Amino acid sequence: MDIKVDARGLLSGCEYIPSPNCDERPAGAIELLVIHNISLPPDEFGGDGVQRLFTNTLDPSAHPYYATLSGLKVSSHFFVRRDGQIIQFVPCLQRAWHAGESCWQGAFRCNDFSLGIELEGTDAVPFTDAQYAALNRLAMALRAAYPIRGIAGHSDIAPQRKTDPGPCFDWMRFLAGLCEA
């Protein structure tokens, strides 16, 4: 399925659930894709925890881990579920709050010039074929719409704080898929 980004920064063919955890992007190009992983509760897939976290509706009493996230205001532009479903939370033209304190090629505040893509997963579990297929389609659509110069893991731009997308993310497979298109 061919997907495209429209003039508002919304991806065709995916569910859009607006997150309040975003703001206006400063002037400048969108030039970096940042790959993350997330699962809520940790190591559990298929629930609505990530959606609730990104929309500030996560009940801190619903799971012991959720209490540690109370008051956290984060988001990502996209979330790719285990079955390959893509959900968008923030339009590409806005700044999602996904990278935190970060640096890429000498430029700080990566949220200012990047798009965040969360994969449903953990550092310890391989990602699915459907996720790689969806991620490749998404990355190609984003590269067609914006002057993307690089793709990095969260661990690459915040190495002292983050480990995702983790050792189970197959960078060679992902990048080869981009070259085959």
Calpha distance 79→83 (Å, rounded): 11
Residue 9 lies in a domain: no
Answer whether residue 151 is part of any domain.
yes
**Would 175 be classed as within a structural domain?**
yes
Provide the CA 179 distance to its chain's centre, in angstroms: 21
Domain that residue 157 falls in = 15-180
Interval 50-59: pLDDT, tens: 999 999 999 9
Q: Are 174 and 164 within 8 A, CB to CB?
A: no
Cβ atoms 157, 102 nearer than 8 A: yes
Tell me the whole-structure pTM to 2 decimals. Answer: 0.97
Asked if residue 77 belongs to a domain, the reply is yes
**Within a domain: 6:** no
What's the pLDDT tens digit per position in 70-79? Answer: 999 999 999 9
- The answer to the question of residue 4 being in a domain is no
Q: What is the domain-level CATH number for residue 128?
A: 3.40.80.10
Asked, for residue 8, whether it belongs to a domain, the answer is no
Give the per-residue pLDDT at 56: 98
Identify the pLDDT of residue 73: 97
Q: Compute the distance between CA of residue 41 and CA of residue 26 in angstroms, rounded to an integer.
A: 33
- Looking at the structure of the chain, the number of domains it has is 1
Mean pLDDT (whole number) for 106-114: 97
Q: Answer whether residue 148 is part of any domain.
A: yes
* Alpha carbons 174 and 177: distance in angstroms, whole number: 5
Query: Which residues are part of the catalytic machinery?
Result: 118
